[in-house]
């Protein structure tokens, strides 16, 4: 089983993932981190920010390699994004060449009230430059749902939308783990 857990920045994904990690034997792999480590190993780049500066074909190759590596693993949770908001619009987090390699069995999309997400981002000093309005966040979450549905067709994966209620990360993690056992 390969499982994707995603959600917009500020939805509280890290806390839920930490809790999920304690409850299961699944390994949690951050897709972006794996890409960076693979690029670093072949001396392509030295810091994670440099990924974006690589040319598109090189980035696609890196994505494919990372996805193929994960596609060989079992009982793994992939920490990644349905869609990334970039300067030119939303970018699919799992384009066809990634989704086909990953062979995902289940998608969990963490969601929360956009107002709550906006507040959490405001309180997070590492997200200073983020300027998504509450409406933007709402749109991002809607777009993420649409991506989850489209991705699932390629592998026949299940799609689960999970309300990440404030302060209930453990309960949310239990819900995910319970669903994974079914």
**Interaction site with a second copy (CB under 8 A):** 60, 83, 86-92, 94-97, 99, 106-108, 139, 143, 145-147, 149-161, 179-180, 182
Cβ closer to a second copy: 127 or 179?
A: 179
Q: For residue 155, what are the contacts with CB-CB under 8 A and spacing of at least 6?
A: 99, 102, 103, 104, 105
CA distance 24 to 10: 24
Q: Which residues, 6 or more positions from 88, have their beta carbon under 8 angstroms from its beta carbon?
A: none
In the complex with a second copy, which residue's Cβ is closer, 86 or 167? 86
28: Cα separation from own chain's centroid: 11
Picking from 44, 68, 64, 63, the residue whose alpha carbon sits closest to that of residue 54 is 44
Residue placing its CB nearer to a second copy in the complex, 115 or 149? 149
Cβ atoms of 101 and 51 closer than 8 Å? no
Tell me whether residue 32 or residue 90 sits nearer to a second copy (CB atom).
90
């Amino acid at each position: 089983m390969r499982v994707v857990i995603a959600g917009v920045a500020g939805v509280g994904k890290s806390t839920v993932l930490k809790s999920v990690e304690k409850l299961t034997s699944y390994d949690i792999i951050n897709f972006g981190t794996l890409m960076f480590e693979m690029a670093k190993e072949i001396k392509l780049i030295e810091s994670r920010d440099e990924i974006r500066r690589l040319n598109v074909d090189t980035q696609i190759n890196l994505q494919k390699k990372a996805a193929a590596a994960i596609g060989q693993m079992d009982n793994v949770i992939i920490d990644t994004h349905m869609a990334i908001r970039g300067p030119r619009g939303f970018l699919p987090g799992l384009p066809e060449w990634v989704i086909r390699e990953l062979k995902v069995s289940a998608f969990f999309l963490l969601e929360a009230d956009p107002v709550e997400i906006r507040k959490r981002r405001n309180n997070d000093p590492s997200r200073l430059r983020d300027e998504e309005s509450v409406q933007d966040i709402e749109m991002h979450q809607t777009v993420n749902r649409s991506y989850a549905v489209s991705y699932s067709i390629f592998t026949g994966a299940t799609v689960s939308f999970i309300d990440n209620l404030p302060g209930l990360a453990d309960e949310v993690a239990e819900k995910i783990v319970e669903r994974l056992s079914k």
